[in-house]
Structure 1
Amino acid sequence: MENELEPVHYSVLYREIVSFFQSVFEKDREILFLDGTAGEGGHSLLLLQAFPKSKLILLDRDSVMLSRAQARLSDFKDRIFPIEANFSEVDPEFLKEHGISGSPDGILLDLGISTFHLLHAGRGFSFRENEPLDMRLSSSGGISAEDVINTYPEKALSKIFYEYGEERWTKKIVEAILERRRHSHIGYSGDLAQLVSRVIPRKFWPPGKHPATRVFQALRIEVNQELLHIEVGVKKLLEVLAPGGLMQVISFHSLEDRITKNLFRDFARNGAAKLLTKKPVIPGDEETKENPASRSAKLRVIHKAVPTDIDMEEDEEEE
């Protein structure tokens, strides 16, 4: 089974991701991977299958998702290091504290939310269910979507919906929320979804999407401070990545992709790395047919340079 390479649960852009790693690493090399967003463990499984001598650091901020990924990877338990943490926490000291020596050769981040969260988590991620408005991805507490909707002032709500959701009906949606708050508490995802649906005229609903999609996206980003973690985390992981290593990031909306693009570009300056994707790789027709949720995915890849002898001599002189 270990040598078979099969997609599981629609791991987004799995063919391209494995191919990029195979273009740099020999199959039988002892590689250390870091999957910073374990999710259902699909991408990790593919990497462990494709590189039989590899080991993998399995990270997720959500203990439920980490457990699910570990269960899927039970045949590889001797080759994985499961850690409940946000990828933005990873630095050399973090790795040392968790008994991991050396730097990861391959790093993967899939910034999308899992199907499990949308359909089964019961935390209000989906506008199709009537669940408590929570939206927290970790179990460590913090502000919930319910807190945001019911306590944030008009200006703050407007900023979130407009900037994080790029919602052009922001003004009317916020007015409706404030009006509703005067009479009753908004505590469930279904209530919020209905409110947004009533505000946006049906002829302006996005084709193929629920009209509350952008509002729910914006709330999730705010609750989990996702853009901040990407900004901090990608920067730190580029430093942690071993020389000659490869880092791949899948994003699902323009804000995530813009941050990744800029950080990769800045890091690649002065020859520190090579951008392997001048433009992001997107799913082909075959993948979008079998997995429509992948249609907005964008993959960016960067290959870290190996210091030359001259560079190493200069470093030694500086010390």
Structure 2
Amino acid sequence: MEHKLESVHYSVLYREILFYFQEAFSPESEFLFLDGTAGEGGHSLLLLRNFPNSKLILLDRDATMLKRAESRLAEFSDRILSVEANFSEVDSDFLRKIGADRNPDGILLDLGISTFHLLHAGRGFSFREDEPLDMRLSSGGGISAEDVINTYPEKILSKIFYEYGEERWTKKIVEAILERRRHGRIAYTGELAQLVSRVIPRKFWPPGRHPATRVFQALRIEVNQELMHIEFGIGKLLEVLAEGGRFQVISFHSLEDRIVKNQFRDYARSHSAKLVTKKPILPTEEEVRENAASRSAKLRVIDKLSASDIRKEENGDEEE
């Protein structure tokens, strides 16, 4: 998500992201960054401007978003290696195949969905417009949200809405979906949003949010297998992060944050890494006023220790 570089777009927690990278790396030196969720390129733009001698690997699983980011970052094209891929694909072989000459020193993941997807993608991520129930982030096919809604059995639909959406009205919503699909497929976002709205009594609608928000979130997570990619991908990225490197992750709901927290904690316990943030960093009141979409963001940061750092840790910060 983008920050106010061009007055319209926002990058969530951009001040904090820059602070933690500048704390770890000298702007004058040469480093390799990896932005595993390019979005519209806001965070990458921040890094390329503030680390003028460094290079960046730009990844996104969505070809449309990657092209938008490339266009925005065109002035830095000689310092960018752009690849259409999911961050969960990154390992040593991947880096070698794309021509990276070193492991990344700084890695950033922003796990939020972009404003472009919500407002302009036309793939049914939002209920603002009546769009086909698609929700696929990548162009490689796979199951759509329409397939999930119309073909998944009751138990699996209930599991998705309750676990991924943390939706307390799951039972009644699933009953309504099963009844509706006896008469034909549910194919558009407007129809699904109205169905959920009718099921949940108005007095229980969440303040400031559409009552179908949790259901749409759960569908998007299922369609794109987001939690699986986060769990699998963070472990792989921790392995390829260079010694002395720093890894930052922004999550937007408790399921994502729990995975990040546990993966970072377990890796730090192996004595090869150190938690920079013991608790997640939250957006300031100022940022929430600037960009309401940032209100649920959480940032966690971890350092991969070098051999000398490990020795210092083992010896109570004293040199051998």
Which bin holds the TM-score, normalised by the shorter protein? over 0.9
Q: 2-side partners of 1:293 and 1:202: how far apart?
A: 23
**Which residue of structure 1 lines up, in the alignment, with residue 20 of structure 2?**
20
Q: 1:220-261 deviations in whole A, cap 9, x for unaligned?
A: 000000000000000000000000000000000000000000
**Which residue of structure 2 lines up, in the alignment, with residue 205 of structure 1?**
205
**Which residue of structure 2 lines up, in the alignment, with residue 220 of structure 1?**
220
Q: 1:162-210 deviations in whole A, cap 9, x for unaligned?
A: 0000000000000000000001210001110000000000000000000
The residue matched to 2:269 in structure 1 has which SS? helix
**Which residue of structure 2 lines up, in the alignment, with residue 62 of structure 1?**
62
**Shift of residue 310 of structure 1?**
8.9
Q: 2-side partners of 1:103 and 1:159: how far apart?
A: 39
Q: 2-side partners of 1:79 and 1:92: how far apart?
A: 20
The residue matched to 2:239 in structure 1 has which SS? helix
**Which residue of structure 2 lines up, in the alignment, with residue 47 of structure 1?**
47
Q: 2-side partners of 1:309 and 1:140: how far apart?
A: 42
1:85 maps to a residue whose letter is A
**Shift of residue 265 of structure 1?**
0.2
Q: 1-side partners of 2:143 and 2:307: how far apart?
A: 44
**Which residue of structure 2 lines up, in the alignment, with residue 172 of structure 1?**
172
1:113 maps to a residue whose letter is I
Cα pair 2:135 2:145 within 8 Å, conserved: yes
**Which residue of structure 2 lines up, in the alignment, with residue 150 of structure 1?**
150
* Residue range with higher mean Cα deviation, 271-280 or 157-166: 271-280
**Shift of residue 308 of structure 1?**
3.2
Q: What is the RMSD of the two structures over their aligned residues, measured on CA atoms?
A: 1.3
Compared with structure 1, are the counterparts of its residues 63 and 231 closer, same or farther at alpha carbon in structure 2 (3 Å cutoff)?
A: same
The residue matched to 1:301 in structure 2 has which SS? strand
Cα pair 1:6 1:46 within 8 Å, conserved: no
- 1:74 lines up with 2:74 in the alignment: yes
Compared with structure 1, are the counterparts of its residues 182 and 57 closer, same or farther at alpha carbon in structure 2 (3 Å cutoff)?
A: same
Equivalent pairs counted in the alignment come to 307
**Which residue of structure 1 lines up, in the alignment, with residue 299 of structure 2?**
299
- 1:196 lines up with 2:196 in the alignment: yes
Cα pair 2:268 2:274 within 8 Å, conserved: yes
1:45 maps to a residue whose letter is L
Q: 1-side partners of 2:156 and 2:49: how far apart?
A: 46
2:26 maps to a residue whose letter is E
1:129 maps to a residue whose letter is E
Cα pair 1:230 1:256 within 8 Å, conserved: yes
Cα pair 1:33 1:57 within 8 Å, conserved: yes
Give 5+ residue unaligned stretches, structure 2.
312-320
Q: 1-side partners of 2:305 and 2:120: how far apart?
A: 42
Cα pair 1:105 1:246 within 8 Å, conserved: yes
Give 5+ residue unaligned stretches, structure 1.
312-319
**Shift of residue 307 of structure 1?**
1.3
What TM-score, normalized to structure 2? 0.94
Cα pair 1:45 1:73 within 8 Å, conserved: yes
**Which residue of structure 1 lines up, in the alignment, with residue 131 of structure 2?**
131
Compared with structure 1, are the counterparts of its residues 183 and 309 closer, same or farther at alpha carbon in structure 2 (3 Å cutoff)?
A: closer
**Which residue of structure 2 lines up, in the alignment, with residue 238 of structure 1?**
238
**Shift of residue 309 of structure 1?**
9.6
**Which residue of structure 2 lines up, in the alignment, with residue 317 of structure 1?**
none
2:152 maps to a residue whose letter is Y
**Which residue of structure 2 lines up, in the alignment, with residue 229 of structure 1?**
229
Compared with structure 1, are the counterparts of its residues 105 and 153 closer, same or farther at alpha carbon in structure 2 (3 Å cutoff)?
A: same
Q: 1:6-25 deviations in whole A, cap 9, x for unaligned?
A: 74511000000000000010
**Shift of residue 105 of structure 1?**
0.2
The residue matched to 1:270 in structure 2 has which SS? coil
2:299 maps to a residue whose letter is L
Q: 1:31-54 deviations in whole A, cap 9, x for unaligned?
A: 100000000000000000010001
What TM-score, normalized to structure 1? 0.95
**Which residue of structure 1 lines up, in the alignment, with residue 112 of structure 2?**
112
Q: 2-side partners of 1:54 and 1:190: how far apart?
A: 46
**Which residue of structure 1 lines up, in the alignment, with residue 318 of structure 2?**
none
Q: 2-side partners of 1:10 and 1:282: how far apart?
A: 16
Q: 2-side partners of 1:144 and 1:151: how far apart?
A: 11
**Which residue of structure 1 lines up, in the alignment, with residue 315 of structure 2?**
none
Q: 1:258-281 deviations in whole A, cap 9, x for unaligned?
A: 000000000001321110111100
The residue matched to 1:126 in structure 2 has which SS? coil
**Which residue of structure 2 lines up, in the alignment, with residue 314 of structure 1?**
none
**Which residue of structure 1 lines up, in the alignment, with residue 317 of structure 2?**
none
Cα pair 1:7 1:14 within 8 Å, conserved: no
Compared with structure 1, are the counterparts of its residues 309 and 159 closer, same or farther at alpha carbon in structure 2 (3 Å cutoff)?
A: closer
